[in-house]
Amino acid sequence: MAGISRDEVAHLARLARIEMSDSELDHLATQLDSILIAVASVQEVAQADVAPTSHPLPLTNVTREDVVRPSLTSDEALSGAPAQVEDRFKVPQILGEE
């Protein structure tokens, strides 16, 4: 398998407008070559009869049905509030708005 050359890395750096030193180009070419080898090894393992997946285990959405249940009345909910106005909690004003 052909790896990625230093000249290809330099070309990509120019396209991305990234200035790189000679040592950085050499180092990055080695790293990118290692990445390409790793990807190729994964591709060798993948067979036609194995479907691509995003997760190794099947996932199902864990939701529950919406069921109306008894809850607090307005008076019960507001009974512990330090202040209330028109059946609502009264909180300190912020941002100077009305």
Domain ranges of the chain: 6-43
Q: Is the pLDDT score of 3 beyond 60?
A: yes
User: pLDDT per residue over 31-87, tens digit each?
Assistant: 998 998 888 888 777 677 777 777 888 888 888 889 999 999 988 999 989 999 998
d(CA 81, CA 90): 8
Residues contacting 9, CB < 8 A, separation 6+: 20, 25, 28, 29, 32
DSSP string, 26-38: HHHHHHHHHHHHH
pTM: 0.44
Q: How confident is the model at residue 15 (pLDDT cuts 50, 70, 90)?
A: very high
Using a 10 angstrom Cβ sphere, with 0-12 exposed, 13-18 middle and 19 or more buried, the burial of residue 9 is buried
HSE of 97 in the Cβ direction (CA atoms, 13 Å)?
3
Answer yes or no: CATH 1.10.20 is held by domain 6-43: yes
Specify which residues 89 forms β-bridges with: 84
